[in-house]
Amino acid sequence: MLATSLKSVLVLQLALGFISSVSGEQQVFQAPSSASVTSQLDSAVKEKIAIIGAGAGGSSAAYYLQKYSDYNYDITVFERNDYVGGRTTTVNVHDDPRWPVELGASIFVKENLNLMAAVKEFSLDLKATDLGRVKRMDNITVDDSFGIWNGQSFIFDAPSDSSWKNIGKMLWRYGISPIRARNLAKKSVGQFLKYYSPVYFPFKDLTDTVEDSGLVELTSQSTVQYFSEHGISDLFTSQIIQAATRVNYGQNTRNFQALEALVCIAADEGLNINGGNWQIFDSMLKSSAADIRLNTAVSEISAASDSGKWTIITDTGSEEFDQIIIAAPYHQTNIKGLALPIKEVQYMTLHVTLIASTKRLSPKYFGLQDSAVVPTMVLTTMPEKGASHMPPLFNSISITKFIPELNQYVYKIFSSSRITPSFLQLLFESGAEFPWIYEKVWKPYPRMDPLSQFQNWKVDEGGIWYLNGIEQFISTMETSSLAGANVAALIVGDTNKTIISVP
Ligand SMILES: Cc1cc2nc3c(=O)[nH]c(=O)nc-3n(C[C@H](O)[C@H](O)[C@H](O)COP(=O)(O)OP(=O)(O)OC[C@H]3O[C@@H](n4cnc5c(N)ncnc54)[C@H](O)[C@@H]3O)c2cc1C
């Protein structure tokens, strides 16, 4: 059981692992029929709300605003991309729609309450994630395995069929550290779950809530410091936990806040939506009946003269709104005009390289014997102190798909710099060809330094709200969705027509 948990913890790119559902009377509001939506939209002069960004946060804000108010807002969503989903998006291998793969956020867990409620409401096709799984022509999954590589050799590896041998291996190597870490993760999940309950939701001030819930102890300490103070061996932190923080957040544990490290090990099974997780947010937006303006970047926000309203300026014109929700990392939006009190946050740079090839990774490159097979998921950690070899040049490599028709594996590489053609030749078995390569550079998540003060939701009393401060607390699709729901609930406030709750 333990090895199963820990193995899946590492193999999965974990979002939040909520161990149990929120207790208390959570009520899911049923969206009115589209006929009733249309008639209500026609019948009244509604408050106009602009949402900037159609990712997890913006889509959730639109969806929950209408849900809590019984469709009492006139919402416009501005999105500079030509698609909905933001950092949650797919690309088709060989440009063939039969083979979509996640290019950004790939995994959530069944305990992600908002996402799971949306999956149910919109009848989306949920499946277990297949990262690191290889399905052959006969559709049988074979040789799934994972390993942690330090730039020279594998310091831990395990087959996918966890057995008592794996449990023994883990306990022999790390003592009771894995159990302690898992218990801490469960405890922090319990504390976080209160954010969904009427005890906190909706929360006016994230800093206060993080403090009240006791999670500030975790957000304000580094993983190394916190784990060591809680009896977890340095070896376990530097090997297992660091492999998880590197694959999930591209960062080592030394100055990485402890809550996010526990998030990485809190869940057992990863899930995704067949065809792409973006469908969750697309469905939310459609259900909100918002006017969605794709390919429309907001370039400026200014105060409209005397009316108390805000003017939004885009390439195609300007328009007035009563309130604005900014649902994108503000300093990446290039929005000019107002001097909003939003602190600049440093985001990581992540290169995602997707590659199709008939070949497997080179055993020689990974320090294995010629006859060995490189694991289907390779995670990484740093070399031991004083080691003379180089650190790994990537954060993780996994097989994300096998295309039987072409006999090709599809690999996903996460790295902090570009994967060059010459490096690919070293990384793969000799004679490897790469008939399809796709590269994307993301600003995927903030640098997760320890922190105890978080950005306010309301950045102008006249009605400008900001969602992405939550990313310094926890950066996932679920928490962006929670931020959207929370700000929606604060806006709707006392005028709500239904029960305000999440999910
Ligand atoms: C490679 C990668 C892997 C990840 N893995 C996971 C994972 O497995 N699980 C998980 O839960 N999370 C994962 N994440 C993190 C997750 O994607 C984010 O936390 C979440 O999607 C953020 O959603 P958001 O709506 O806050 O921001 P975004 O998704 O970034 O949405 C913001 C939107 O605003 C738009 N925008 C910006 N400026 C303007 C403007 N001026 N005008 C109009 N529109 C504008 C952008 O185009 C974008 O669409 C991953 C992210 C990446 C990149």
Range from 62-71, 370-379, 492-501 that averages highest in pLDDT:
62-71
33 inside domain: no
pLDDT band at 110 (very low <50, low <70, confident <90, very high): confident
Q: Which residues form the domain of 407?
A: 130-160+349-442
Residue 148 and residue 115 share a domain:
no
User: What does the alpha-carbon distance between residue 126 and residue 274 come to, in Å, rounded to a whole number?
Assistant: 6
For the chain, what percentages of helix, strand and coil (3-state, to nearest 5) are there?
Answer: 30, 20, 45
pLDDT band at 163 (very low <50, low <70, confident <90, very high): low
* Position 19 pLDDT exceeds 50: no
167 inside domain: no
32 inside domain: no
Whose CA is closest to atom 10 on ligand 1? 476
Residue 118 and residue 231 share a domain:
yes
Answer with the one of 409, 427, 442 that is the final residue of a domain: 442
36 inside domain: no
| Contact predicate 57/467, CB 8 Å | yes
| Interval 22-54: pLDDT, tens | 222 222 223 333 434 444 444 468 999 999 999
User: Quick one: average pLDDT of 172-195?
Assistant: 93
Residue 289 and residue 207 share a domain:
yes
Residue 97 and residue 219 share a domain:
yes
Q: Quote the percentage of the chain above a pLDDT of 90.
A: 76
* Position 11 pLDDT exceeds 60: no
CB atoms within 10 A of CB 421: 8
412 inside domain: yes
**Domain at 180, CATH number:** 3.50.50.60
Query: In the numeric block, which tokens belong to residue 325?
Result: 């929700």
> Cβ(482) to ligand 1 under 6 A?
no
User: Quick one: average pLDDT of 388-411?
Assistant: 94
> Cβ(188) to ligand 1 under 6 A?
no
* Position 167 pLDDT exceeds 70: no
Residue 220 and residue 293 share a domain:
yes
pLDDT band at 494 (very low <50, low <70, confident <90, very high): low
* Predicted local distance difference test score (pLDDT) of residue 166: 66
Q: Quote the percentage of the chain above a pLDDT of 70.
A: 86
Residue that wins the pLDDT comparison between 460 and 3: 460
Q: Which atom of ligand 1 is nearest to the CA of 270?
A: 8
Ligand 1 centroid from CA 160, angstroms? 31
Ligand 1 centroid from CA 265, angstroms? 22
**Domain at 151, CATH number:** 3.30.519
Residue 365 and residue 301 share a domain:
no
Query: In the numeric block, which tokens belong to residue 499?
Result: 């029960």
In the chain, the number of structural domains is 2
> Cβ(88) to ligand 1 under 6 A?
yes
> Cβ(480) to ligand 1 under 6 A?
yes
Angle among Cα 186, 190, 191 to the nearest 5 degrees reads 120
Residue 437 and residue 459 share a domain:
no
Residue 221 and residue 121 share a domain:
yes
* Predicted local distance difference test score (pLDDT) of residue 10: 36
pLDDT band at 172 (very low <50, low <70, confident <90, very high): confident
Ligand 1 centroid from CA 56, angstroms? 7
407 inside domain: yes
SS3 453: coil
Residue 466 and residue 428 share a domain:
no
Ligand 1 centroid from CA 442, angstroms? 9
> Cβ(29) to ligand 1 under 6 A?
no
* Position 399 pLDDT exceeds 80: yes
Answer with the one of 403, 425, 442 that is the final residue of a domain: 442
Residue 54 and residue 70 share a domain:
yes
Residue 283 and residue 137 share a domain:
no
Q: Which atom of ligand 1 is nearest to the CA of 352?
A: 1
207 inside domain: yes
Q: Show Cβ contacts of residue 62 under 8 Å, excluding neighbours closer than 6 positions.
A: 51, 75, 77, 284, 285, 288, 290, 484
Ligand 1 centroid from CA 57, angstroms? 8
* Mean pLDDT taken over the chain: 88
- Helix (H) or strand (E) holding 114, with range, is helix 113-121
Residue 248 and residue 387 share a domain:
no
39 inside domain: no
User: Quick one: average pLDDT of 323-339?
Assistant: 97
Residue that wins the pLDDT comparison between 111 and 248: 248
pLDDT band at 126 (very low <50, low <70, confident <90, very high): very high
